[in-house]
């Protein structure tokens, strides 16, 4: 009994000292996440992928009555995304549609606990980079270099004072940027009128057509679907059934390694108006693979390189339930 107690104290001591000396880069990561949860801000940022670039305005207000965020596209076709607590509404005036989604599982919301950061550290090397001045803020760069070729790398520039993320670059195994977000103007804190966070796109005399995602948890294995992505470090985050368009029911399984997520969508081929194009398409740091499996369309959307998305879609199988 005495030996066991001694070992317990020893382990506890080791665990505590480990927690007291976190990796410097990991501490910065935690600072960025805390800032995203707690800060109110408004600013303008540029999103770049390849030749394409576009400017957007983003506003966030955190106060006693909850947190609200709004994204407005300033280039091209107007679009707006408004998040109030767990509900996200996307206003798409081209089709006069509002797509409504809700985060059903609190645990799936990526709140950053120290345990999650340490699991990121298993698959990415976290280091401090240079300091830089961005949009008038003195920033510290943090680099997350993947330990394998299955994921992208991240370089994050955070304001040294508040931890606010000013710039993020996602890069591939050759060091080329696949995606970049940069604030060109930012104000942290200050008086933000809650009315500014209401959607501004006018309905132009017509009614917005509302599409609800109607998400509920499900076990796709019960319908015969087997998904074994074989991506080290990626854990299943959530498994739901939802509406994708007005009438298309789809199963969705999401995997994540703490930084990147991969969604597997499975839907019956009957709802499809157009034939399935099997193959890979890319959009900056997002790769999408589409394939037909047993009269269903499987679509994998991943914030990971094409080879990883391919690996996931090849692991999707259907076995008719007995």
Partner 1 sequence: MKSNISALMDDELQDPEHAAPLRALHDDETALQAWREYHIVGDALRGTRVLSADFSARVAARLAEEPTVLAPRRVAKAVDRNRRWMTLSATASLAAVGMVGWLAFAPQRGAVPDSVPLAQTPQAVQTRPAEARPVPLPSGANDYLLAHQTYSPRSGLQGVAPYVRTVSERGRPR
> Which of 23, 103 has the CB closer to partner 1?
103
- Assess contact for 67 and 59: CB atoms under 8 A: no
Nearer to partner 1, 185 or 278 (CB): 278
* Phi, psi of 44, rounded to the nearest 5 degrees: -125, 135
- In this structure, are residues 118 and 131 in contact, taking their beta carbons and an 8 Å threshold? no
Measured between its terminal Cα atoms, the distance across the chain in Å is: 51
Stretch that binds partner 1, among 18-26, 131-139, 226-234, 277-285 (CB under 8 A): 277-285
160 contacts partner 1 (rule: CB under 8 A): no
CA 34 to CA 74: how far, in whole Å?
Answer: 28
Scanning residues 34 to 93, which ones bind partner 1 (CB under 8 A)?
A: 36-37, 45, 47, 49, 52, 54, 56, 58, 60, 69-71, 73, 76-77, 79, 81, 83, 88, 90, 92
Measure the CA dihedral 263/264/267/272, to 10°. Answer: 70
The Cα 201–Cα 279 span in angstroms is: 36
User: Minimum CB separation from partner 1 for residue 234, in Å?
Assistant: 11
Binding of partner 1 at residue 99 (CB under 8 A)? Answer: yes
Encoded one letter per residue, x for contact with partner 1 by CB under 8 A and - for no contact, window 209-238 reads ----x-----------------------xx
Alpha-carbon span 187 to 44, nearest angstrom: 9
Q: Is 118 in the site for partner 1 (CB under 8 A)?
A: no
Task: State the nearest-atom distance from the C-beta of 196 to partner 1, in Å.
Answer: 14
Binds partner 1 (CB under 8 A): choice among 42, 162, 299, 308: 299
């Amino acid at each position: 009994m005495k030996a066991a107690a001694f070992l317990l104290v020893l382990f506890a001591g080791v665990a505590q000292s480990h927690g007291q000396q976190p990796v410097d880069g990991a501490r910065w990561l935690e600072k960025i996440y805390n800032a995203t949860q707690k800060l109110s801000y408004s600013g303008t940022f540029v999103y770049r992928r390849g030749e394409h670039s576009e400017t957007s305005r983003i506003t966030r207000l955190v106060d006693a009555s909850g947190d609200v965020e709004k994204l407005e596209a300033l280039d091209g076709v107007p679009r707006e995304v408004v998040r109030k607590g767990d509900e996200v509404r996307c206003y798409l005036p081209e089709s006069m549609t509002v797509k409504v989604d809700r985060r059903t599982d609190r645990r799936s919301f990526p709140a950053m606990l120290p345990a999650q950061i340490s699991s990121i550290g298993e698959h990415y090397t976290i280091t401090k980079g240079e300091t830089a001045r961005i949009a008038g803020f003195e920033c510290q760069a943090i680099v997350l270099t993947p330990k394998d070729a299955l994921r992208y790398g991240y370089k994050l520039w955070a304001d040294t004072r508040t931890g606010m993320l000013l710039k993020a670059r996602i890069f591939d195994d050759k060091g080329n940027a696949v995606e970049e977000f940069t604030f060109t103007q930012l104000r942290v804190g200050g008086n933000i009128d809650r009315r500014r966070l209401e959607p501004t796109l006018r309905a132009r005399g017509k009614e917005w057509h509302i599409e609800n995602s109607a998400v509920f948890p499900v076990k796709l294995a019960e319908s015969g679907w087997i998904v074994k992505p074989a991506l080290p470090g990626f854990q299943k985050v959530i498994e739901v059934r939802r509406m994708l368009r007005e009438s298309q029911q789809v199963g969705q399984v999401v995997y994540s390694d703490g930084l990147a997520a991969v969604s597997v969508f499975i839907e019956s081929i009957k709802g499809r108006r157009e034939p399935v194009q099997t193959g890979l398409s890319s959009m900056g740091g997002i790769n999408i693979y589409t394939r037909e499996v047993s009269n269903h369309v499987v679509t994998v959307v991943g914030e990971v390189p094409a080879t990883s998305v391919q690996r996931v879609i090849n692991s999707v199988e259907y076995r008719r339930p007995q």
